[in-house]
Amino acid sequence: MGRVIPGVSRTFNEYLLVPNLTTRECTPERVSLSTPLTRYRQGEEACPVSLNIPLVSAIMQAVSDDRMAIELARQGGLAFIFGSQPVDRQCEMVRKVKKFKAGFVPSDSNLKPDDKLSDIIRLKQSTGHSTVAITDDGSASGFLRGIVTSRDYRASRTDLDTPVSEFMTPIEEIVFGREGISLSEANDIIWDHKLNQLPILDEKGRLVSLVFRKDYDQHKENPDEMLDDHKRLLVGAGINTRDYRERVPALLDAGCDILCIDSSDGFSDWQKDTIRFVRSAYGEDLILGAGNVVDEDGFRFLAEAGASFIKVGIGGGSICITREQKGIGRGQASALIEVAEARDRWFEETGVYIPLCSDGGVVYDYHMALALAMGADFLMLGRYFARFDESPTRRVLLQGSYVKEYWGEGSNRARNWQRYDDGGAAGQMHFEEGVDSYVPYAGKLADNVSVTLAKIRATMCACGAVDIAGFQEKARFVVVSPTSIVEGGAHDVIRKESQMEG
């Protein structure tokens, strides 16, 4: 018979942190959330590349495109642009991130002059944007023909079949800036002409970006931005174990900074082959993450292969059904604890520290703190980021509440068979390992991330730590019973909102 691994497969929900002494030095403003992103050798002054916040976005169609990458890098984290798309499209997303200039926003609400008012209303309902750029071909980079804002029409009094060209503000009446203008100059034009937005056009009249008055206060330098040596935002991208010989060089030519193999199971010869190709072609300094694994054997396999960081977790994602479909995986807390212990032993043996990325199993914000305390250096999140404006999916009204679409890479909708490749015939997906779903809409990424990080800092202070390494050293855990979980929430009271709903 097979070997039974002792112990129970546990989740984050089964643990609580026991507080330590909170000293006068343990205040939220003194807490550093900087964390290593890539392997480094003992004795080096610091990790070559560190994240300013321990959050990265999942390699998923419903989560990580160029918009997510831009906003998350500005907050101090990193996005991995999804790889389950043609190479040229993924590379174009990478280029958009590397070309981004703070305050210059690519137009993502666009129509043609012969579209109708009904199209304007539909677009506004799906995106929440009241400004629509009208270009000759309806694209974000077409020749600008006009602008439509909510002041240009009254839906209750205008025929829904009215062409956009009849009520838009035409290009002849629009104040615009030319490509190459500085943000300061753009804002001066906005204020001098009392504008709400300023289109930026290239020398031929094609739309390049928009600058908005409402974003003025957000254009100040963000000290947590993740920047390369040329002051451009850092961006990551997902690759698979099938077309890496084509995809990797194309992504690097596009300016991609960090790569990560996207797979549900990293303990395979195909991942080792992929890592060896990258190392032989591009050397040891290129940051290449690998995974996912759930035990020491898997960790050591990828560490020996040359992974820069290793992802931990199988089957713990909110839309992942790998465990119920294939019967493989492990509770995220148990997996992370074992792999973190293996990482520490590897460090003692070799003098090389390999960061861990905890991927999956997070339901509440406090689970993030638990994951960091259990040994994760940073966290990869899907559902969390899918809820925000910056994710690439539609916002829809469902039963009176706004939600955003969210689907797994193992779902039929994604058709990302490469992520679950077992080395068999190419291009086949025999069964689903992910579902198609909705998540509650939560607004802007920056607003939500700031609250989440405040909670993590508060937890670290309660445990007597001011940095992640100290948090991991001092953390003490207790396993909770089902009744103590109930006790931890509101109980034995009549909630006011329940009364009002009744």
The interaxial angle of helices 365-373 and 445-462, nearest 10 deg, is 50
Q: Count of alpha carbons within 13 Å of 388, Cβ hemisphere only? A: 22
d(C-alpha 452, C-alpha 369), whole Å: 10
| 145 is an active site residue | no
**Beta strand pairing status for 401-407 and 395-398?**
antiparallel
Whole-Å CA distances, 440 to 394, 401, 403, 429: 12, 8, 4, 29
Q: Which two tokens stand for residue 133?
A: 């750029």
Annotated catalytic residue, options 260, 320, 357, 461: 320
Q: Which of 211, 177, 191, 187 is nearest to 100 (CA)?
A: 211
Annotated catalytic residue, options 145, 419, 457, 463: 419
Q: Which two tokens stand for residue 244?
A: 């890496």
Count of residues making up the chain: 502
d(C-alpha 147, C-alpha 179), whole Å: 18
Q: Which two tokens stand for residue 430?
A: 């025999």
At a CB cut-off of 8 Å and minimum separation 6, what does 443 contact? 388, 389
d(C-alpha 65, C-alpha 79), whole Å: 8
Q: Quick one: DSSP state of residue 420? A: G
Helix, strand and coil content of the chain, in percent to the nearest 5, comes to: 35, 20, 45
| 320 is an active site residue | yes
* Enzyme catalytic residues: 320, 419
